[in-house]
């Protein structure tokens, strides 16, 4: 306190002296010094006297918010000291020479933002005081934005809170501005409002909270909102932006659309049809489906999807999807027309089956009722025979008979077809296949097959009349609807006539097979080639026979028993016959083992006049 009194006294004295001397001092200081919190701040005080002072004193003062001034340092020509017991005692240094002095605040605190006074006293040489404002800066943390999570309805008549934004711990006070898709949102009465809450913490920092209130429209559903915080730094203004957020906008449905999802293309009976309904509202409201002619009947659907299974033409018509607009309390309706195409079974005229006479003509028609243009193709035996819904059958033959299938299809709708058929019967006199009479030659004893095949309607019956052999039988009788085939096998014993008689109600046709039996002469050549041995045997036998005959004749002649009439001749023949029979048998059996034909030939040589065939069969027995 004593020190202070001394100082005040000194100041008063100096002022008094200065007043009379009119000498003066010029002091130069920065108006403002800007530093970040925590950095050191240097405050310079430069002075110059018009007259060299005999003594001099430099003091630094601060001014508190409560208005009181306090000295924080003192220097004269002899001493230099920081005042004890002030807020700055441990945080400042002062250094000076004859015309300047620098006060250094080592680590600047937010509370250091104030005015610092530099007072220079030179007694008679003059005195003065200047000040510097120390500005302190500390950027806020990055802004944090938080959108509202619930959907916001456009039908609200008040402003709705969209989002809040917070910038914490800044100094000096930062500002928050709002953006929608990079466009700043300036508060407009009734449309945009920004509510700002600034909090000054005990530490001196500012925290700014801002809330955006906004009149939402449907267009905002895709908009991005953000906030930016702007803050001062030494010599500049900086900004820092928040993330973008989107918001859920609820808006009523004003329009619903209905479309067919499945199947693509045309719809035919039997298809499964999937109809979808979508409105332009958010969130999607519940939809109901109905048919236009039955508005009161609600169709079963899930999530705006209506599925119609196995549709028929009765399902054709207008389908509606509706939802309630909660604002206007009115139904919003969408329409869609569904066409189910159909193709009825093909109807063929004449129906089922039709009997034609040979040579007749007939026109068959095939029609299938359809909602689309159709094309008709006729088939017989899987072969295409005509196109168009009429089929002309002219000059019918048995080949005309058969199953006629018409296939009606829809070219514009693949896989959509129906078929019908008619059975054509051609009535007529039996017609034998290869009807010309047959002449043939066959070796005797051979089995021969004769075939007779006849067509006709009603189906003919085949009867055989076979002359010349008893050995025959029918081995096959195959019938189809309009044909019959008969096969007989017969043994050629002599010339044969086989007549095939095909008969039906309309008439009869016959075919004659004439078989000429061939005698077995042909093997003679063979005999000459192979049979020289046999000839020798035969010659020997003949010689033997002649020798025996000569002996007998001679014996009879000697005994005088040889008669000279007819009866004697007859006897000779009888003897010959009876004597030779067993021999002949023996030879034949022997021959047979070698070759049947040769045995037969031998009998011929022997002059046997019996029918060859009979003998042949006997031998075989
Ligand atoms: C003014 O404030 C300072 C620092 O806060 C304090 O030291 C001083 O006593 C106060 N003066 C008055 C008159 O209240
Ligand atoms: C904050 O807003 C106020 C008032 O509009 C303005 O004076 C000040 O310069 C702004 N501060 C920043 C850092 O933009
Ligand atoms: C918001 O954006 C995210 C990511 O882009 C997206 O997944 C989400 O659906 C959007 N929400 C709304 C309500 O638009
Ligand atoms: C059906 O055929 C008629 C005549 O050939 C033609 O005029 C019409 O355009 C066709 N209709 C369709 C749907 O193809
Ligand atoms: C005659 O027909 C029968 C039965 O079809 C067959 O077994 C036989 O071999 C045929 N004979 C001739 C000579 O064609
Ligand atoms: C064929 O058969 C029919 C009926 O059975 C008979 O009237 C006709 O005389 C027969 N014709 C011949 C050549 O056998």
Residue 22 confidence (pLDDT): 64
- Which band of pLDDT confidence, cut at 50, 70 and 90, is reported for residue 349? confident
The rounded radius of gyration (Å) of the Cα atoms in the chain is: 70
User: φ and ψ at 389, to 5 degrees?
Assistant: -80, -5
Lowest mean per-residue pLDDT among 144-158, 418-432, 592-606: 592-606
Can you list the pairs that 543-550 forms with residues at least 24 positions away whose Cβ atoms lie under 8 Å?
Answer: 545/580
Residue 283 confidence (pLDDT): 85
Q: Which CATH number is associated with domain 20-137? A: 2.60.40.10
- What ligand is nearest to the CA atom of residue 194? 2
Q: Is 489 in the pocket of ligand 5 (CB under 6 A)?
A: yes
Residue 47 confidence (pLDDT): 93
- Return the residue whose CA atom lies nearest to atom 9 of ligand 1: 68
Residue 282 confidence (pLDDT): 84
Residue 581 confidence (pLDDT): 41
Asked whether 422 and 350 are in contact (CB, 8 A), the reply is: yes
- Tell me, in angstroms, the distance from the centre of ligand 4 to residue 372's CA: 8
Residue 4 confidence (pLDDT): 55
Rounded CA separation 86/103 (Å): 15
Lowest mean per-residue pLDDT among 197-211, 262-276, 377-391, 560-574: 560-574
- Tell me, in angstroms, the distance from the centre of ligand 4 to residue 373's CA: 6
Ranges of beta strands (E only) in 172-304 are: 175-180, 183-185, 192-200, 206-214, 225-233, 236-241, 249-250, 256-262, 267-268, 273-279, 288-291, 294-299, 301-302
* Residue-wise burial string across 184-214, b where 16 or more C-beta atoms lie within 10 A, e elsewhere: ebeeeeeebbbeeeeeeeeebbbbbbbbbbb
Rounded CA separation 163/454 (Å): 101
Architecture of the structural domain at 347-422: Sandwich (2.60)
- Return the residue whose CA atom lies nearest to atom 10 of ligand 5: 449
- Which band of pLDDT confidence, cut at 50, 70 and 90, is reported for residue 330? confident
Average pLDDT, the chain: 82
H or E element that contains 620 = helix 612-620
Q: Which residues pair with 93 in a beta bridge?
A: 104
Mutate to test the pocket of ligand 3, among 163, 181, 218, 246 (most ligand atoms within 8 A of CB): 246
Ligand 3 atom with the shortest distance to the CA of 246: 1
Asked whether 29 and 116 are in contact (CB, 8 A), the reply is: no
- pLDDT digits 0-9 by tens, 474-518: 999 999 877 899 999 998 888 889 999 999 888 999 999 999 988
Residue 98 confidence (pLDDT): 80
Mean pLDDT in residue range 23-28: 88
- What ligand is nearest to the CA atom of residue 375? 4
Overall size of the chain counted in residues? 621
- Which band of pLDDT confidence, cut at 50, 70 and 90, is reported for residue 521? low
CATH number for 433-518 (one of 1.20.59.20, 1.10.3370.10, 2.60.40.10, 2.60.120.260): it is 2.60.40.10
- Return the residue whose CA atom lies nearest to atom 8 of ligand 2: 175
- Tell me, in angstroms, the distance from the centre of ligand 3 to residue 439's CA: 101
- pLDDT beyond 60 at 132: yes
Q: Is 150 in the pocket of ligand 3 (CB under 6 A)?
A: no
Residue 176 confidence (pLDDT): 95
- Return the residue whose CA atom lies nearest to atom 5 of ligand 3: 246
- Return the residue whose CA atom lies nearest to atom 2 of ligand 3: 246
Mean pLDDT in residue range 460-474: 89
Residue 83 confidence (pLDDT): 93
Residue 9 confidence (pLDDT): 58
Residue 126 confidence (pLDDT): 86
- pLDDT beyond 50 at 251: yes
Token pair of 173, please? 């006070």
Residue 621 confidence (pLDDT): 32
- Return the residue whose CA atom lies nearest to atom 5 of ligand 2: 175
CATH H superfamily, domain 256-341: Immunoglobulins (2.60.40.10)
Lowest mean per-residue pLDDT among 303-307, 511-515, 545-549: 545-549
Residue 566 confidence (pLDDT): 44
Token pair of 131, please? 């000040």
Asked whether 43 and 118 are in contact (CB, 8 A), the reply is: yes
Top CATH class, 144-250: mainly beta
Residue 355 confidence (pLDDT): 87
Mean pLDDT in residue range 65-89: 90
């Amino acid at each position: 306190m004593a020190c202070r009194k001394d100082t005040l006294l000194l100041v008063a004295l100096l002022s008094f002296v200065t007043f009379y001397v009119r000498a003066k001092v010029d002091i130069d200081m920065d108006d403002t010094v800007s530093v970040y919190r925590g950095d050191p701040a240097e405050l310079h005080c430069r002075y110059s006297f018009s007259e060299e002072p005999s003594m001099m004193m430099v003091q630094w003062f601060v001014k508190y918010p409560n208005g009181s001034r306090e000295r924080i340092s003192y220097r004269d020509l002899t001493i230099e000291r920081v005042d004890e017991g002030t807020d700055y005692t441990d945080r400042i240094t002062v250094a000076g020479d004859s015309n300047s002095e620098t006060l250094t605040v080592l680590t600047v605190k937010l509370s250091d933002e104030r005015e610092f006074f530099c007072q220079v006293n030179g007694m008679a040489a003059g005195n003065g005081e200047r000040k510097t404002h120390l500005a302190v800066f500390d950027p806020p943390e990055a802004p944090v934005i938080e959108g509202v999570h619930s959907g916001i309805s456009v039908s609200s008549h008040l402003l709705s809170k969209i989002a809040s934004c917070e910038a914490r711990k800044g100094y000096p006070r930062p500002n928050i501005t709002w953006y929608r898709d990079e466009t700043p949102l300036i508060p407009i009465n009734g449309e945009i409002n920004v509510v700002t809450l600034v909090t000054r913490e005990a530490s001196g920092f500012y925290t700014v909270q801002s809330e955006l209130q906004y009149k939402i429209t449907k267009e905002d559903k895709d908009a991005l909102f953000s906030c930016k915080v702007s803050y001062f730094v030494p010599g500049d203004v900086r900004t820092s932006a928040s993330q973008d957020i989107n918001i859920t906008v609820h808006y009523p449905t004003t329009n619903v659309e209905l479309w067919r999802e499945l199947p693509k293309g045309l719809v035919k009976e039997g298809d499964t049809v999937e109809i979808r309904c979508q409105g332009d509202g958010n969130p999607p409201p519940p939809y109901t489906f109905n048919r236009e002619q039955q508005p009161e009947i609600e169709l079963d659907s899930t999530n705006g999807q209506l599925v119609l299974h196995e549709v028929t033409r009765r399902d054709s018509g207008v389908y509606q999807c509706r939802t309630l607009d909660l604002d206007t309390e009115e139904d919003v309706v969408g329409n869609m027309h569904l066409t189910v195409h159909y193709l009825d079974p093909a109807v063929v005229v004449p129906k089922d089956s039709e009997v034609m006479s040979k040579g007749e003509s007939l026109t068959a028609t095939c029609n299938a009722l359809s909602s689309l243009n159709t094309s008709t193709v006729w088939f017989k035996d899987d072969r295409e025979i005509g196109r168009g819904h009429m089929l002309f059958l002219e000059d019918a033959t048995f080949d005309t008979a058969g199953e006629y299938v018409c296939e009606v299809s829809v070219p514009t709708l693949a896989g959509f077809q129906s078929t019908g058929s008619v059975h054509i019967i051609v009535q007529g006199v039996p017609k034998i296949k290869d009807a010309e009479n047959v002449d043939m030659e066959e070796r005797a004893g051979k089995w021969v097959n004769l075939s007779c095949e006849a067509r006709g309607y009603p189906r003919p019956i085949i009867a055989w009349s076979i002359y010349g052999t008893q050995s025959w039988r029918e081995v096959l009788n195959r019938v189809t609807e309009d044909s019959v085939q008969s096969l007989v096998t017969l043994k050629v014993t002599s010339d044969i006539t086989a007549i095939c008689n095909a008969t039906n109600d309309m008439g009869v046709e016959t075919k004659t097979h004439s078989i000429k039996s061939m005698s077995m002469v042909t093997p003679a050549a063979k005999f000459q080639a192979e049979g020289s041995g046999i000839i020798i045997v035969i010659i020997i036998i003949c010689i033997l026979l002649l020798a025996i005959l000569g002996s007998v004749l001679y014996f009879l002649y000697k005994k005088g028993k040889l008669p000279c009439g007819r009866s004697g001749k007859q006897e000779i023949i009888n003897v010959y016959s009876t004597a030779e029979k067993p021999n002949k048998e023996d030879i034949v059996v022997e021959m047979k083992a070698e070759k049947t034909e040769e045995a037969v030939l031998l009998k011929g040589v022997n002059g046997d006049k019996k029918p060859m065939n009979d003998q042949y069969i006997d031998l075989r027995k």
